[in-house]
Chain A
Amino acid sequence: MLRPFLKLASWLGFLKLKSFKMLKSLHITNFRGFRDLKIDSLKRVNLLTGHNNTGKTGVLEALVLLLSDPESGQRQLLPNLFRPVGGDYNENFWKWLIYNKSAAINLQIKASFDDRNDFAVILHPKRHAPIDFDVSIFHASEDVGGFDCFCGSFGEAQRILGQVQRINFKPAVFSTKPSDPVQDAIDFNRVILIRRKKQVEKMLRQIEPRLLTIEALQIRQPGQSSTTTTTTVPPVGSGVPALQTSQPGQQSTPLIYAEISGLSEMIPVTQLGQGFNRLLDIYSEIVATDAKVLLIDEIENGLHYSVLPLVWKGLFLAAQEFDVQIFATTHSWECILKADEAARERENYELELIRLDRVNEDVKATIIDQGALATAKELKWEMR
């Protein structure tokens, strides 16, 4: 009985010592369409591109499985996190996480970090109908020169995984679903509650210099005063539905308003453009959840091409200011070019463009470096 305990103690010690820095590489085996996908070079901002059905969103899903805090319930939300799944989740989603839907192979998601530590989650299909996994967690440190493994039933693994939150792996997820302004306002209250509103405002001021303040306000009926919404706030990303903040008979809903220099009254931020709103949404989420990894699927969706430079500028700012690592997917060549331009404007070029290529029955990652991207632009190559 002592041996498992020692292993657990070693694991927890490792967790306490470890501080999140950055994923440097990713190795995914037998997960979705990836038999053996290696992405050897990750940077602060990683943009995934490739044809349909090459697995761009699959990489984001793998990162959720690898990094998310199990107590947040994010893993359980995975089936609908990036794309809708109809019917039986077991048949239509969970079983398909395993390459070729095979019951006989394990799937592994492993990352290396810039502090030379590795971290991996291995799922062993235990029962196929309904699907049930044993989960193993691996960590490796060159200092100790080996692996520790914790295996057990799903429940036991969950309990162990529960400690992972100490190392701040939390990913914040943005999918193609349009944001809800009311829910955004409720979420923004969490930013206010943890007294980081000024930080968000400072960031947004670099995008919109005329911005003075931002408030989440609930405008009541004529004759009633407006007020900031300080009602109970659900945990962001918890899957808890939006609060019913209006009283019976009232039509008010909370919205985020901005005070803009030169305007006589505060304006709903929904009127400030897609780029501003997307960045406010992202900044608030990062701040409210203390996320260290930002996952954005089909980043260009819902955005006019003209706001892409603004959004990319804002994302690079966020990566630096909040110390987050960004993984985004895109189908858009224009989006890639704007990301490249934003990266070039910064002191260090921190963009990694990764294209997923289907080669025979497998998917391979091709890193398109700065030089290749410049050649592609000059000669008008198709590189998506």
Chain B
Amino acid sequence: MSGGKKFVFCEGKGDELVIRSLAKEMGLAVTVEQYGGKDNLANFLQSLSKRPEFAQQQVAAMAILRDADEDSAAAFASVRDILRHNHFEAPDANENFKESTPRVGVFIIGVGGKGMMEDLCLRSVADRPEFACVDEYFRCIAQHSARKEFKSKARVRVWMASHADWEYHLGKAAEEGYWPWESPAFEALKNFLRAL
């Protein structure tokens, strides 16, 4: 069904906005939606087949995106099992598709087998000279306060605070063009979306 609809399902709203912006940049005709967090994926997939597009067999391909968190292999296995449990086909490996009807792909997001969308976006700007200032800021905070650990969501906020006068979260930053889509950091994700 090459002419059918194509869906990308992301964990949350921020991821959805990032993928939608990237897909727009790439000129892809895909529908991007969120599934309400990894803990809701099973409920989501259980209900998905009831949607008119799926019940009426109008869907050519769908992709499930999920954060790697601590372990991308475990994250992939979890998505694969939930897909199969809910009567969807699943690919055998991450960043791949199962050639079924509809085609089903899984992409685990992170850097070096860990992390989340924020890590991927930060990686895309990590070679900028001012990025060292973000690291320096957190080093300074850790030195002078009780707080020693900082998540990548906080790093995104600091990075964006250094580039805009108002609060931009991950998704809004994507919409406003603050993530360089041409960066090699996005290459695997772009290849995956092209294959959808």
Chain A interface residues toward B at CB < 8 A: 51, 355, 357-360, 364, 366-369, 371-372, 375-376, 378-379, 381-384
A375-B55 contact, Cβ under 8 Å, with A368-B50, A383-B50: no
B33 and A357 within 8 A (CB): no
Q: Which residue of A lies closest to B50 (CB)?
A: A372
Interchain pairs with CB closer than 8 A, number: 45
- Tell me, yes or no, whether B57 is within 8 Å of chain A by CB: yes
CB-CB under 8 A from B33, the residues of chain A are: 379
Asked if B47 and A357 make an inter-chain contact with CB atoms under 8 angstroms apart, the answer reads no
What are 6 inter-chain pairs, A to B, with CB distance below 8 A?
A: A358-B56, A375-B44, A375-B47, A376-B51, A379-B33, A384-B52
Chain A residues lying within 8 Å of B35, measured Cβ to Cβ, are 379
Q: A371-B46, A371-B47, A375-B43 are in contact. Are A382 and B56 (CB under 8 A)?
A: no
Quick check: is B34 within 8 A (CB to CB) of the other chain?
yes
Q: Which of B20-69 contact A (CB under 8 A)?
A: 33-36, 43-44, 46-47, 50-52, 55-57
Which interface residue of B33, B34, B35, B52 has the most chain A CB atoms within 10 A?
B52
Q: Does the CB pair A359–B56 fall under 8 Å?
A: yes
Residue ranges of B at the interface with A (Cβ–Cβ < 8 Å): 33-36, 43-44, 46-47, 50-52, 55-57
* Nearest CB of A to B19, in Å: 16
Q: Cβ of A371: which chain B residues have Cβ within 8 Å of it?
A: 43, 46-47
The reply to whether A366 and B55 form a contact with Cβ atoms under 8 Å apart is yes
CB distance from B171 to the nearest CB of A (A): 16
Question: A384 to chain B: which residues have CB within 8 Å?
Answer: 52
Instruction: Tell me the smallest distance from the CB of B11 to a CB of chain A, in Å.
Output: 13
Least Cβ distance of A379 to chain B in Å?
6
* B51 lies within 8 A of A383 (CB): yes
Q: Using A375-B43, A375-B44 as known contacts, say yes or no to A366 and B50 having CB atoms under 8 A apart.
A: yes
Task: Please measure, in the bound complex, the distance between the C-alpha atom of A376 and the C-alpha atom of B44, giving whole angstroms.
Answer: 9
The listed residue (B36, B50, B55, B57) touching A379 by CB distance below 8 A is B36
B47 lies within 8 A of A372 (CB): yes
B55 touches A378 (CB 8 A): no
